[in-house]
Chains A and B, each alone.
Chain A
Amino acid sequence: MTLALVLITSGLTLVAFGHQAIRRVSGSGTDPRVIIVMWLIALAAGPGMLAAGVAVLLLPDHAGLGGLLRSAGGCLVHLGGEVMPTREEATGLAGLTAIVLLLARTVVVAVRLTRVRRQRLEHHRFLVALATAPDHPQGATVRMLQHSRPIAYSVGGDGGMVVVSRGLKESLTPDAFAAAVEHERAHLKGKHHWMLASVDILAAALPIAPLLREAPKDLRVLVEYAADTSAALRWGGSAVRSALLAVAGSSVPDCALGMAGGAINDRLARLQTPLRHPSPIRRHLRCSLAGAATALAPLLASVAVFLLVACPTA
């Protein structure tokens, strides 16, 4: 019972307050990729812990687990020791029913949103292929629209594509233009379209959970930060700033991600500070640590609370 309570409390804490915690710990200088990892871990761990808690409640011999904890942690099982098994099972079954209903709702929303998104995406790919056909072979990743307005965006899905315009190329130095293309390539490489489509589904299916509801808004800005960082590491911050200023007035198609994606002022400010080049190992280490901390923090906090409640004199 205690293990289940710890898991359920941790899951609920993450789902209710995870977004606030992530925003608090992520300062303006933090690598956006680290914050993205924290969001993704929180989105997976929150519901995951809730489901695991319910599963533990339903385990036929979870008294064995409790016994294990009792011998290891002394008074951890104090809370659950006296509870009638039938009540535990009833709680578990109620939890299971809730999870099944929520999962079913998520699947229905996912099917509906994915269908609409795919139709838009394919129609857009059709338009881009028609508009750029004379200059580009089928399957090219970077497509150039023959138009004077500066445009830069990327379309995800199977073999994504980067769409830029002649106007963008002509209004920028070669480095700044390359930075714009690199920014869009970073969206494709980071699978940002897929990531945002997934969090959109979660937010639409379960808007009652603050973490899930807030995720799309924050992640939309974070993927732009991350793509800016990738482009700046290769072509320099000022090249990305020029590209950003060139596209600042335009919008991005609904089914795409683009340089003019949002938070332009914040991004311009970020790009003014020089970027450090973290080694890949250090970056992976940082992401792993941040991810582990996101999942472990609520668990440790719950265990601490239970220890305090169960053993006030300890």
Chain B
Amino acid sequence: MRGLGELEAAVMDVLWTSDQPLLVRAVLEKLTRRKPLAYTTVMTVLDNLYRKGYVQRAKSGRAFLYEPSVTRGQAAADAIRQILDETADKETALLLLARSVSEPESQALRHGLDRRRRRP
């Protein structure tokens, strides 16, 4: 496993393969079989995933129980769409944008481009 991003994906994998909501400690135990990790690291990762909307949580005593808020298929499809957005043909996107802007917006764009040309 490499970096935080892949750790997040690994945590999602643990939650998807579990048939019930899990405590941080349970996620940690399942992950630690592959690589030793700190409790706080897993807690931070679950918190990140909660903020990004990939997991939901419910209070259980003093701790949280976590479960996925999207299915594996949905998450994969959404990830591909986001990657495609980033690798989209920016030239075409800009042409489409240029065609759709109003006259004041177009003037503002022209002004900005002129300034950039003067100070490359």
Contacts and interface: CB of A to CB of B under 8 A. Distances in A.
A228 to B, nearest CB: 19
Interface in B59-75: 72, 75
A149 B84 contact: yes
B47 interface: no
A122 B4 contact: yes
A170 B56 CA distance: 39
B105 interface: no
A249 interface: yes
B2 A149 contact: no
B19 interface: no
A275 interface: no
A134 interface: yes
Interface stretch (B9-17, B20-28, B108-116): B9-17
A73 interface: no
Interface string A124-157: 1111111101100011000001110101010001
B87 A252 contact: yes
B18 interface: no
Contact of B5 (A126, A134, A151, A258): A126
Nearest to A124: B5
B6 interface: yes
B83 interface: yes
Contacts of A161: 2
Nearest to B4: A122
Contact of B9 (A129, A251, A253): A129
B3 interface: yes
Contact of B89 (A129, A153, A251): A251
A115 interface: no
Interface string B79-96: 110111011111110000
A130 B5 CA distance: 10
B50 to A, nearest CB: 14
A250 interface: yes
Interface string A244-261: 000001111110001000
Contacts of A157: 2-3
A310 interface: no
A128 B89 contact: no
Contacts of A79: none
A283 interface: no
A147 B3 contact: no
Contacts of A163: 83
Contact of B87 (A126, A129, A153, A159): A153
Contacts of B79: 126-128, 130-131
Contacts of B82: 127
Contact of B83 (A131, A138, A249, A254): A131
Contacts of B6: 125-126, 129, 138-139
A142 to B, nearest CB: 14
Given A126-B8, A133-B72, A158 B87 contact: no
Contact of B3 (A133, A159, A250, A254): A159
A252 B10 CA distance: 25
Nearest to B74: A130
Interface string A230-274: 000000000000000000011111100010000000000000000
A151 B87 contact: yes
Interface of B: 1-6, 8-10, 12-13, 34, 72, 75-76, 78-80, 82-84, 86-92
Interface of A: 121-131, 133-134, 138-139, 145-147, 149, 151, 153, 157-159, 161, 163, 249-254, 258
